[in-house]
Amino acid sequence: VILSDSANQIFLAESGRRILCALILRARKNPKKFEEVFDEMISFLEQADQWIHTEMELAAYGVKHLNFYDVVLDFILMDSFEDLENPPMAIQNIVNNHWLNSSFKETAVASSCWSVLKQKKQQMKVPDGFFAHFYAVCEHISPVLAWGFLGPRNSLNELCSYFKNQILYFLKDIFDFEKVRYSSVDNLAEDLLQLLIR
């Protein structure tokens, strides 16, 4: 229901862009290329004729419904947070190696992210579908998030932690019966939107 309203779609896309650009800027990177691929993904998602293909692509990964919770919160964000809590041992070893300088560690983390994305791209069934656009966005934001969570305690780490905590608080709130009315789909959508806006 929330995503069926074009004003909500614009709000969510712009909010996502602002948050992710803030993370990229905090990492002292240029967000220009990210913004380009993000806009391309949003344009792709605005094409209603692509939704059936997107639904099939996501269903192959266990996403049953195309809605904000299942796609953005659960599949994208929560899965990413889980992956970052348990990074590959090679990355842990690099990040924890006191002999390596921070710049080298950051480059190694980024290279690892790009390597994983390259493997995922090779397994795509639809070369210009949802995952092609999603992985293009991930090429720019995944290294930033990975370094933000795994790297040294600094302003990027603080911002990444704040971002994650806000998502977790939101998830907690949507299951709080004092904050969200589950009496009807419209009431539920209205309350969820209010939580998103705050």
* Alpha-carbon separation of residue 56 from 44, 53, 63, 69, 78 (angstroms): 15, 5, 9, 17, 21
Residue found under tokens 């889980």: 82
CB 73 within 8 A of CB 171: yes
CB 16 within 8 A of CB 42: no
CB 34 within 8 A of CB 137: yes
pTM of the model: 0.91
Residue found under tokens 């919770």: 69
Q: What angle do CA 37, 146, 94 make, to 5 degrees?
A: 135
Ranges of the chain whose pLDDT falls below 70:
none
Residues 78-97 have pLDDT tens digits of 999 998 898 888 889 999 99
Tell me what pLDDT residue 118 has. Answer: 95
Tell me what pLDDT residue 5 has. Answer: 87
Distance (Å, whole) CA 169 – CA 188: 17
Tell me what pLDDT residue 57 has. Answer: 96
152-175 burial, b at 16+ Cβ within 10 Å, e below that, comes to eeeebbebbeebbeebeeeeebbe
Burial of 81 (0-12, 13-18, 19+ CB in 10 A): middle
Tell me what pLDDT residue 96 has. Answer: 92
